[in-house]
Amino acid sequence: MHMRHAPFVAALVAALGAGPAISQTCAGSGAPLTYPVAKKVDQTDNYFGTTIADPYRWLEDANGADTKAWVDAENQVTQAYLAAIPQRAAIRQRLTQLWNYERYSVPFREGGRYFYSRNDGLQNQAVLYTMTSLTETPRLLLDPNTLAADGTVALAGLAVSPDGKLLAYSTAASGSDWNEIKVRDVATGKDLPDLIRWVKFSETAWTRDGKGFFYSRYDEPKEATKLADVNYFQKLYYHKLDTPQDADQLVYDRPDEKEWGFGAATTDDGRYLIITATKGTAHKYRVFYKDLATPDAKVQPLIDNFDAAYDFVDNVGPVFYFVTDRNAPRQRIVAIDTRKPQDANWKTIVPESAQTLVSAHLVGDRLIAQYLADARSVVRIVDLKGKPVREVALPGIGSVAGFTGKRGDRETFFSFTGFTTPTTIYRLDMKTGASSVFRQPKVQFDPNDYETRQQFFTSRDGTRVPMFIVSKKGLKLDGNNPTYLYGYGGFNVSITPAFSPANLAWMEMGGVYAVANLRGGGEYGEAWHEAGTKLKKQNVFDDFIGAAEWLVANKVTSPAKLAIGGGSNGGLLVGATMTQRPELFAAAIPQVGVMDMLRFHKFTIGWAWTSDYGSSENPEEFKALVKYSPLHNLKPGTCYPATMITTADHDDRVVPAHSFKFAATAQAAQAGSNPVIIRIDTKAGHGAGKPTSKQIEEVADRWGFLTKALNVDTAPTVAGGAE
């Protein structure tokens, strides 16, 4: 997902779903926990005549002494609780074994060189390599593990100059969205003096001559509040090598539009700069371009209204190719001639189909189009007039990525992954259509022991929704299977099959892993996305509840054995669902979630999410938001599921105040002894670039927590000896 459209966020459930009557005990296991005292302040806000209390507003100040003391005290409670779980150590050991396998990125070629990353297994960060041919030994080019002893500095992005001689790479520290860009000489492996700061949600686009690149940045923030302050007025710059950042040329900005952001790309022929303007997270863009061959050429508008998505594919001279959902909710490919750009002159190259077009690339004078068919990948190749050439054969139910390259290339690479298929890298010969394995990992498990099936269920309003169910073969439908139901449901993001050593460990313990493809996502195009936004957000929660009810009704599991989880927007999903139907679940794990739906827009990039959620500053949208906002729907004296909330101190996407306030409120509201704990990671952010060691620790805590909450008495088998 494009970083700008990634602001992972979530919306929570409104009215109670009308499901079967399910009783649930609130006895929990063991005595109730004693939580740190969280003071309450007399803070209220008036929303169109409705007074809303916010007694834990002080927890929004991450630097405050009271907040730090509360965080320390909460972490002590959480760590003591987790440390007492018998299976936790064995789970961590098994996760470490399963994670210890080679993982590769999809290679790309630039200037006669190949570039790709590899993690040998337990490295905190993947290492970037280069080579001049596919048969030679790769040479290490950049090892992010050397940038911080604890692995908390990650490679956030990279771009190689057209001649293959220079690498512009961005790094992120402790999981923050703030990036720095540096430049490395590919031949020597040494960095040039160039340093670009205050970059966020930015591509790096080299000019054809390799003398500099375009990038997007914000003004320098205040140091003390840089992880919380709102981000407005992004600007697009050109940096000339060997010059200081303050000498960079401002290429495009809009001082009249504080919410506009800018993504830059240069065409492979070096002729044009393509500027994609965004506003919030909506997939509706404006497109501008600049003729780089003409000195002092001005930026020209090509599509000057936010009416649809326009993802630039490539150009053939003055003809630009785009994937768009303009008049095609499941997307099509169009060609726009910049000499006569009026939409009446647009040519449809690949029309909309019943399947959702996800992306396209122009390689070897062919268009490679990636589709989703019920959340599974399908890949088709057509010529530049749209005539079908072939379909790329895939090894099963799964997801693909890659297919980058240039018009003159005769090869490309792609990855394939499934729930029980570790990510494998393939080389595709564009002339013959033959695929061959480039890199294939070896994981210590037998995929034949597991099965993936896709089930369709009916949501509350009659909508047909798909769900993947993955488990060991021979699953007994007796209602006793511990089940982890995952979802997201927002921002046009499609949740597709992918391999995870974390989920494999859960299934080894007898667990079922279920993924519901909820409305709000992009699995069925823009109409599916819009059906889960703003005033229709409750559809997302109804879909998730419908998935849970299907699993219970069909005896895959039962409320006493059912847990729900999700991150960011999925954290909102979990928070909303557990407040609407607390009796339906035994456990809930909302991760880095958006929990305060009335104030999310007041921090960092949160304002951008109003395109999906709406805003509490709009009277009708306020009414919808307050109905499902997780924070505002916790009711004192209610029996909520065993809950582990997770967040991180450097999360500047969804600031930790969301989770802090939700935890304090939930602990005060909880009836009975089901635990409500909060796991607050340090030197970590929203999730991107998280070191392997931290990932393993977090998953061990997650599965450990669920063994206790779901009464799972089995522990994973730890293989003997080193792996």
Could you give the residue numbers annotated as active site? 568, 686
Per-position b or e across 661-695, b if 16+ CB within 10 A of its CB: bbbbbbbebbeeebbbbbbbbebbbbbebbbbbbb
Q: How many CB atoms lie within 10 A of CB 474?
A: 7
387 CB-contact burial (10 Å; exposed 0-12 / middle 13-18 / buried 19+)? exposed
Q: CA-to-CA distance for 492 and 278, rounded, in angstroms?
A: 15
Nearest to 345 by CA among 319, 370, 324: 319
Task: Provide the β-strand partners of residue 363.
Answer: 366
Widest pairwise Cα distance in the chain: 74
Residue 344, C-beta contacts closer than 8 angstroms, at least 6 positions apart? none
- What secondary structure does DSSP assign to 218-285, as a single string? -PPPPGGGTTTS-----EEEEEETTS-GGGPEEEE--TT-TTEEEEEEE-TTS-EEEEEEEETT-S--
Q: CA-to-CA distance for 616 and 618, rounded, in angstroms?
A: 5
Token pair belonging to 480? 């006793």
290 CB-contact burial (10 Å; exposed 0-12 / middle 13-18 / buried 19+)? buried
- What secondary structure does DSSP assign to 287-307, as a single string? EEEEETTSTTPPPEEEE-S-S
99 CB-contact burial (10 Å; exposed 0-12 / middle 13-18 / buried 19+)? buried
* Cβ atoms 24, 639 nearer than 8 A: yes
Give the three-state DSSP class for 286. Answer: strand
- H or E stretch at 182: strand 179-185
CA 18 from chain centre, in angstroms, equals 31
Per-position b or e across 549-582, b if 16+ CB within 10 A of its CB: bbbbeeebbbbbbbbbbbbbbbbbbbbbbbbbbb
Token pair belonging to 545? 């509840």
Give the three-state DSSP class for 723. Answer: coil
Give the three-state DSSP class for 482. Answer: coil
CA torsion sign, 32 to 33 to 38 to 39? Answer: positive
Q: CA-to-CA distance for 168 and 666, rounded, in angstroms?
A: 45
Nearest to 279 by CA among 264, 306, 260, 305: 260
Angle (nearest 5°) at CA 594 between 95 and 202:
80
- What secondary structure does DSSP assign to 392-446, as a single string? ---SSS-EEEE----TT-SEEEEEEEETTEEEEEEEEETTT--EEEEE----SS-
Amino acid at 529: H
